[in-house]
Amino acid sequence: MQTPNLPSARAAGGSGILSVSTCRKISMSITHRPLRMRGESCGTLQNFLGGDTAQHQQRRSFMTEAEFHTVADETLETIQDVVDKDLMEVVGDEEDAEVNVASGVLTLALPPHGTWVLNKQTPNRQIWWSSPLSGPRRYEYDPNSKRWVYSRYIETLDPDDPMPSDMDATLFENKNVTIGGALTGELKSLYETDLNLKL
C-alpha cells in the first residue's frame, strides 16, 4: 500500500493548525471516506500526524533563541553552583568527582555511581538529560512556574488547563517531573543530602 503524500500542519497553513477542510482531505487519502468532522476529531487526526496545537506550541517555546540561552545557561550554572557548594563537601575527596559547565553542557561525575549530563538543545528549546539512574529525558521550560518540566509529563496534560503558577509550582516537585526535582531526588537517594533545586 502506497503511503499518501500528506501535508504537514505547518505546510497546511504555516500556523501549526490544520484546517477542517485539510483534515477532511487527509482523512479521504487515508481511509477513502470522509471524516465526520468535529473540532476534537480534527485535533485527534492532527496529533496522530504529529502536528502541534497552538496551545501546546505556546507552552513549549521561548519568544527568542536568545531568551532560551539566557534561561538555560542560568539553569545549568545554578545547578553547578548548588552542587559545588552543597554536595561536593558531602562527597568529600572521592576521586574524580566533579561538576562542570562548558559550551552549554553540564557534566556531573560522581564515581562509582556514574555521570549525569545535561545539555542545551537549541532547535527544540529543551534541556536534554542523561542519568545513570533514570536514563534519558527531555525537559521544556514553563514560564508560569519557572520550572523545566519533563516533556512526557507535559504531553499528559490537557492543553486547555493552565500550568501551575509560581505559587503552586510545588505540585511539579511532588510529581518529581522538574529537572530540579529529579536531580534533587536522585542525589538525595545516593548521599542523603537535599539540594532543593527549584528549577
* DSSP, res 85: I
User: Which residues have a Cβ under 8 Å from the Cβ of 75 and sit 6 or more positions away?
Assistant: 127, 148, 179, 199
**Which one is predicted more confidently, 9 or 194?**
194
pTM assigned to the model: 0.67
Least confident piece of the model among 57-61, 171-175, 194-198: 57-61
Cell 504531553 locates to 155
Q: Return the top range by mean pLDDT from 10-14, 154-158, 192-196.
A: 192-196
Least confident piece of the model among 5-9, 22-26, 167-171: 5-9
For the cut 80, the answer to whether the pLDDT of residue 73 exceeds it is yes
Name the average pLDDT for the chain.
74
In this structure, the chain runs to a length of: 199
Cell of 162: 493552565
3-state class (DSSP) for residue 1: coil
